[in-house]
């Protein structure tokens, strides 16, 4: 009986054609496991001072820094395309940077003005803000520094104040990307005690010390200022267990959502997090990933549109709730067509 069963089974396998369901476009669409829709995409926007001002970003083709009035228009386009939220990153004037990152807690700083203007003009779209201090420090580190050591608790104290003024200015989601220990819990307590208990925290829980951030640092003006590296607080790219511990700790401290950054080089981390934690998980397709696709396409090495779509689908296949990507507006508009 066993022999007959095995012969039958082998005969079945010999006749099986896995390509059958790939033979036409309608069949491929019918059995497709994952899909991308505009609401999966979050659009990062770089902000600068001025009016009707825009400036190009080295190594990020087609991406510009925008003055607040132009950022309002970009947010409107994003909303019209079905994008649920934008993430705002200011390029503070170098004269406003110092070792104490005091501009981070200035209630009239660039990010607060942008929040207020966008919230007033496009109230339906979500506004996500970062509280890391590299946007304001004169040394380009994500925290305060003394004797070449990044200070954890002192940095958290400043970030808590920064988070509160952002909430007051109209931020809908606070997204700390600094990787200081304990900052999620401290921010959560401060928000709750100040009447902002409805504002969620999207924590960059697994942010790796990556070589893929270069264009972003130039975009926000920290590249030329950065002293040393960020190895003492961002994750070692050789490790995965450490990422799971960071995510678990942030969830215990009150994170409502988590971010894994960069994206495609860390799909394994995304998958592990999705399998382990029942919480919305986002990925950031970072500036270096964006630039690789753009330059590859410009030089004829890859097809641009299909590479963008494939890269974003990889995040969905890995289990992401959504993706922060500089391709968000373009992709959402194409999806709508």
Q: Which residue numbers are catalytic?
A: 207, 261
Q: Rounded to whole angstroms, how far apart are CA atoms 134 and 155?
A: 11
Residue 249 burial (C-beta neighbours within 10 Å; 0-12, 13-18, 19+): middle
By the 8 A CB rule, do 199 and 173 touch?
Answer: yes
Q: Are 91 and 219 in contact (CB under 8 A)?
A: yes
Instruction: Extract the tokens encoding 133.
Output: 């201090």
Helix (H, G, I), strand (E, B) or coil at 43: strand
96/134 Cα distance (integer angstroms): 12
What are the CA-CA distances from residue 323 to residues 89, 128, 141, 227, 287 (Å)?
Answer: 16, 13, 25, 30, 13
* Nearby residues of 336 by Cβ (< 8 Å), 6 or more positions away: 38, 81, 82
Q: Dihedrals φ, ψ of 35, to 5°? A: -145, 155
Cα diameter, the chain: 84
Helix spans in 122-182 (H): 152-169
């Amino acid at each position: 009986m066993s022999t007959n069963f095995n012969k039958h089974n082998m005969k079945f396998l010999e006749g099986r054609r896995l390509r059958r369901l790939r033979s036409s476009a309608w069949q491929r669409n019918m059995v497709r496991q994952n899909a991308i829709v505009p609401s999966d995409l979050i659009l990062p926007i770089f902000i600068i001072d001025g009016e009707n001002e825009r400036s190009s970003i080295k190594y990020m083709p087609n991406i510009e820094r925008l003055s607040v009035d132009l950022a309002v228009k970009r947010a409107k386009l994003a909303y019209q395309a079905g994008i649920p939220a934008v993430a705002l990153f200011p390029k503070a004037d170098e004269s406003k940077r110092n070792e104490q990152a005091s501009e981070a807690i200035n209630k009239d700083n660039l990010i607060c003005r942008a929040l207020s203007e966008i919230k007033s003009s496009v109230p339906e779209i979500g506004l996500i803000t970062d509280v890391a201090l590299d946007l304001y420090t004169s040394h380009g580190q994500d925290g305060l520094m003394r004797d070449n050591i990044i200070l954890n608790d002192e940095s958290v104290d400043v970030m808590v104040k920064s988070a509160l003024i952002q909430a007051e200015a109209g931020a809908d989601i606070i997204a700390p990307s600094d990787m200081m220990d304990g900052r999620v819990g401290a921010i959560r307590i401060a928000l709750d005690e100040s009447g902002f208990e409805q504002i969620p925290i999207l924590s960059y829980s697994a942010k790796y010390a990556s070589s893929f951030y270069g264009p972003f640092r130039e975009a926000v003006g920290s590249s030329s200022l950065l002293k040393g590296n960020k190895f003492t607080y961002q994750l070692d790219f050789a490790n995965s267990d450490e990422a799971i511990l960071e995510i678990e700790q942030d969830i215990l401290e009150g994170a409502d959502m988590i971010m894994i950054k960069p994206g495609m080089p860390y799909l394994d981390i995304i998958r592990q997090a999705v399998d382990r934690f029942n919480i919305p998980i986002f990925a950031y397709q970072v500036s270096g990933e964006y630039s690789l696709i753009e330059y590859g396409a410009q030089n004829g090495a890859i097809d641009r549109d299909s590479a963008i779509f494939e890269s974003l689908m990889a995040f969905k296949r890995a289990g992401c709730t959504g993706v922060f990507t500089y391709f968000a507006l373009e992709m959402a508009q194409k999806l709508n067509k």
